[in-house]
Structure 1
Amino acid sequence: MLREAFEYLTTPCDPLARRLGYLSEAVALGSRHRRQRQNWAPHVAACRRFIAQAAAQAPKGGQAVVLGSGLLIEIPLEDLTARFDEVLLVDIVHSRSVRRRVAGMPMVRLVALDVTGALAPLDEALERGWDLPTGFTPPALPGSPPCAFAISCNLLSQLPLMPLDAIERRAPAIPDAARLAFAQRLATDHLRWLAGLAERAALFSDTESLWLNNGAVIEREDSVWGLPLPAPDSSWLWDIAPAPEQDSRRDLRHSVGGWFDVAGLVNSLPADCPPPR
């Protein structure tokens, strides 16, 4: 607990991101990884292998962008720096351990950013009692797009979670249908933005949460907000929280999918899923 408290108090973080819980989540993720390192190892290896394979399909040199770089647990950073001239690590919070790791790597840049562009408008809407915002766009990144390569790391399922938590705390009367529409907007905006960000854009994301009891699946839940995604190019399982990590008797496992061509994925979605603004 002392380590987590120190990390929380000393990690640089935008005040809005801190208030919405992103820093707490980053600290908790690091703590969980330390406890579950062995159980996570196959997932971590699969992520690094997928990213390396995706990067190999992009032209060498130029700029690579890693969205949702997190604690760099799943990122083969050395492979990326060997292939590209510059690597942008983009996340809303960059931990002290990440800052230390890249301090001697001049080709790596940390970018602290809300990749949805929705958090400030959402915060204002909740503060003023307005409807959920629709007039937001993902931000511009440093450099001259399109970059050579971009990879979204487990963001598709995660982007709506903290905003939905804020809605539940501060505006619980907002209907479920409006919340789901907002979540789907965040997810589809991310896909469309990512597709135009790089000459080659890829992503991986957990797609389903599975609860198991004695090895048998007893409950499953969609993790991609009902979006009709095509079959992934690569898939694997992630034992994210074996009992009693999150539940005293049940194990939590994620199904994860990876897509090498986000532009093709976006083109496969129905035009009204939801429609671009």
Structure 2
Amino acid sequence: MLREAFEYLTTPCDPLARRFGYLAEMVALGARYRRQRRAWAPHVAACRRFIDKAMERVEPGGQALVAGSGRLIEIPLEPLAARFDRVVLLDLLHPRAVRRRVARFPNVELLEMDITGALAPLAAALDRGGPLPERFTAPLPDGAPFRFAVSCNLLSQLPLLPLDAVERHLPDTPDGERLAFAGRMVHGHLDWLLRVADRAALFTDIDSCWLRGGEILEVEDSSWGLSLPAPDMSWLWEIAPAPEQDRRRDLRHGVAGWFDVQTVTSSVPPC
């Protein structure tokens, strides 16, 4: 707990990231990974293998962007730095351990940015008591379009903490408005990926499954109603074996990846 508290207090962080819980989430993710490193190992290997295969589909050199770089757990940083002239790691915040690791690579840069464009409008909406923002635009980072980009476990996660804030501050918001807001975020991310790079890949959670003794008890869709095509790769993520999140039940995520986001957007109706 002392390690997590120190990290929370000393990590440079945009006020919006702190307000919406992204700093606390990043700290908790690091702690969970340390506890579950062995259980997560197949997932981590699959993520790195997916990114390796995706970037091999573009010519070396030029610029690459990693969206949702996080703690670099799932990111093959060395191969990315070797293949591209410039690599930008984009997230809402970067832990100090990441900053130290990246400092060894002269062609790797860190960028802190809200890629949804929704957090500032949402904060204003919460302060004035609603309604939820209907229009927001994800900004493009300097250098766009990149030769290659990859979205790392972002699509399903983007609405979660904003919706938690809505529940805390605007609990009477109808479910339809909440889902519509979430839909705008995930559709906006797909559109952003099309604009940010000549070739963009993504992997994301697609379902969440509770098990006991290997028996499936409950499965929940994580794709926010998107009609997703068959993935190029898929794997299972033993994210929280008991008693990590539940004393008796294991939590497993299904993960899917696509080497070209255009195959996803072509099957997803506009929001």
TM band (smaller chain): over 0.9
- Paired letter, 1:260: F
Name the aligned partner's letter for residue 225 of structure 2. Answer: G
| Contact 1:58–1:199, Cα closer than 8 Å, also in 2 | no
1:92 aligns with 2:92: yes
Aligned to 1:192: 191
Instruction: Tell me the residue number matched to 2:174.
Output: 175
Offset of 1:70 from its aligned partner? 0.3
- Measured after TM superposition, the shift of residue 106 of structure 1 is 1.4
Pairwise CA distance, 1:58: 1.3
Q: 1:203, 1:259 within 8 Å by CA — same for their partners in 2? A: yes
- Structure 2: gaps of 5 or more residues: none
Q: Is the 8 A contact 1:115 1:138 kept in 2?
A: yes
After TM superposition, which residue ranges in structure 1, 4 or more long, deviate above 2 angstroms? none
TM-score (norm 1): 0.97
Secondary structure at 2:266's aligned position in 1?
A: helix
- When the two chains are superposed, the root-mean-square deviation of aligned CA atoms in Å is 0.7
1:78 corresponds to 2:78: yes
**What is aligned with 2:155?**
156
Partner of 1:196, secondary structure, is helix
Counterpart check, 1:133 vs 2:133: yes
Cα shift at 1:249: 0.3
**Which position in structure 2 is the counterpart of 1:24?**
24
Give the TM-score, by structure 2 length: 0.99
Aligned match of 1:12: 12
Aligned to 2:36: 36
After superposition, give the CA deviation of every residue in 1:42-91 in whole Å (9 maximum; x if it has no partner): 00000000000000001211110000000000000001011100000000
Trace 1:250-269 onto structure 2 (pairs within 5 A): 250-269=249-268
Q: How far does the alpha carbon of each residue in 1:10-66 deviate from its partner, in whole angstroms, 9 at most, with x for none?
A: 000001111111000000000000000000000000000000000000121111000
Classify the secondary structure of the residue corresponding to 1:268. Answer: coil
Give the secondary structure class of the aligned counterpart of 1:248: coil
Report the CA distance between 1:180 and its aligned residue.
0.6
Greater CA drift, 248-257 or 187-196:
187-196
Return the alpha-carbon distance in structure 1 between the equivalents of residues 219 and 255 of structure 2: 13
**Structure-2 separation of matches of 1:58 and 1:124:** 40
Looking at structure 2, the residues matched to 138 and 178 of structure 1 have their Cα atoms a distance apart, in angstroms, of: 20
Unpaired runs of 5+ residues, structure 1, are none
Report deviation, 1:104: 2.0
2:112 is matched with 112
Question: Which residue identity lines up with residue 63 of structure 2 in the other structure?
Answer: Q
Identity %: 66
